[in-house]
Amino acid sequence: MKKKLLLVFCLCFLLLPLSLGNAEEGLKLDGYLWPNMPKLWRLGFVKGWTYGSGIAIDGIPFFVTAFNEKIIDRERYVKLIKGFGKEKGLLELDELSSAQIISTIDKIYSNPKVKQWEIHEVMPLVRGRLKEGWTERDLDDVIAYLIKEKELLKKAENYKSMGESERKKFEEEIKSLVEPKVLKALRAYRFE
């Protein structure tokens, strides 16, 4: 227990200059900042992500059910939490080496289309590639889909102000968007 506490303290200490440098603007860890971070900071991030997410995902069902006995179907609730954890890239990464995770993040951020994505948007792709066995093609398809999905969500903000022809065109764009099978499988927990 003391070793784990010391490890967390050391990792926080290593990341302290990073957080202080961006305190006034808020920390935004994206593809522009990631490659310029020292290797120890990247290692600290990965260790913190895997350790922290494991605690959160394992602890949430226990914490909620311990204080709320009215949850009738605990198994379904735990399944829902774990499904959410998989989709967000929070589960099972602790079973991998930090080097695997860091090299996959590096590979994903080498794609100029995702440079501006924050790290929490990239980690599900990392998990998909490493734990779900996504191929390079699958990863490219998921990235293209997520980019288009973001564009459509941004357009949807102006839906009420669109004219009739713009609405029809927008609705056709939504209908033509096909979610990749690997992403659909990852998001399946939503519909259970």
pLDDT in tens, 49-77: 888 777 766 666 665 655 555 655 667 77
Point out which residues pair with 30 in neighbouring strands: 118
- Say how far apart CA 144 and CA 153 lie, in whole Å: 14
Give the least confident one: 54-63, 75-84, 87-96, 135-144.
Answer: 54-63
Q: Is the pLDDT of residue 130 over 70?
A: yes
**How many CB atoms within 10 Å of residue 172?**
10
Query: Does 13 have pLDDT greater than 50?
Result: no
Of 47-56, 131-140, 165-174, give the lowest mean pLDDT range: 47-56
Please say if the pLDDT value at position 27 is more than 90: no
Q: Would you state the pLDDT for residue 4?
A: 55
Cα separation values, 141 from 115, 145, 150, Å: 17, 6, 14
Task: State what percent of residues in the chain have pLDDT above 90.
Answer: 41
Question: Quick one: the chain helix, strand, coil %, rounded to 5?
Answer: 75, 0, 25
What 8-state DSSP symbol labels residue 88?
A: T
Interior angle at CA 117, CA 113 and CA 121, nearest 5: 120
Q: Which of 19-33, 115-129, 170-184 has the lowest mean pLDDT?
A: 19-33
- Rounded to the nearest integer, the mean pLDDT of the chain is 80
From CA 151, how far away is CA 139, in angstroms rounded? 18
Q: How confident is the model at residue 162 (pLDDT cuts 50, 70, 90)?
A: confident
Average confidence (pLDDT) over 169-174: 89
Burial 49-87 (b: 16+ CB within 10 A, else e): bbbebbeebeebbeeeeeeeeeeeeeeebbeebbbbbbb
* pLDDT > 50? residue 104: yes
Structural domain span for residue 164: 2-191
Number of domain units in the chain: 1
